[in-house]
Amino acid sequence: MSNDSQWPVWEVFVQANPGISHKHVGNVHAPDAEMAIQNARDVYTRRSEGISIWVVPANAIAASSPEDQGAFFEPSNDKPYRHPTFYKIPEGVKYL
């Protein structure tokens, strides 16, 4: 049958410990979300690597493009005053 696909791709995000963000770890093929979560558990958390899994259909992810990287992130490059180290505070002033 021509529709013998290897199933759609789901991107997998795993939270390693309570209190931290889910992190992208890879992807799995699965027919639906439920099986994607089960497959992700078997593929990416066989050694207690996680306590929570998110799966997202790969085609639902939009990404910035590498060619535009320079121009796209440029606005933040010329604003050093957004960083605390930009400001010179005299020695002896505390808690700043």
Partner 1 sequence: MEDAKQLEAFEAKIAAGQKIEPKDWMPEAYRKQLIRMMSQHAHSEIVGMLPEGNWITRAPSLRRKAILLAKVQDEAGHGLYLYSATETLGIDRSELLSQLHTGKAKYSSIFNYPTLTWADIGAIGWLVDGAAIMNQTALARGSYGPYCRAMIRICKEESFHNRQGYEIMMHLAQGTPEQKALAQDALNRWWWPSIMMLGPSDDQSPNSDQLMRWKVKMESNDAIRQRFIDRTIPQADFIGLTIPDKDMKLDAATGHYEHGPINWEEFFEVIKGNGPCNAKRLKARVDADKNGAWVREAAMAYAAKQTKDKLVA
Contacting residues toward partner 1, per CB under 8 A = 1, 3-7, 9, 26-29, 31-32, 35, 42-43, 46-47, 63, 65-67
Shortest distance in whole angstroms from residue 5 CB to partner 1: 6
Query: Cβ closer to partner 1: 15 or 58?
Result: 58
Q: Which residues of 24-53 are buried (b: 16+ CB within 10 A; e: fewer)?
A: ebebbebeeeeebbebbbeebbeeeebeeb
Query: Cβ closer to partner 1: 63 or 96?
Result: 63
Which tokens belong to 17? 């410990």
Which tokens belong to 71? 């121009």
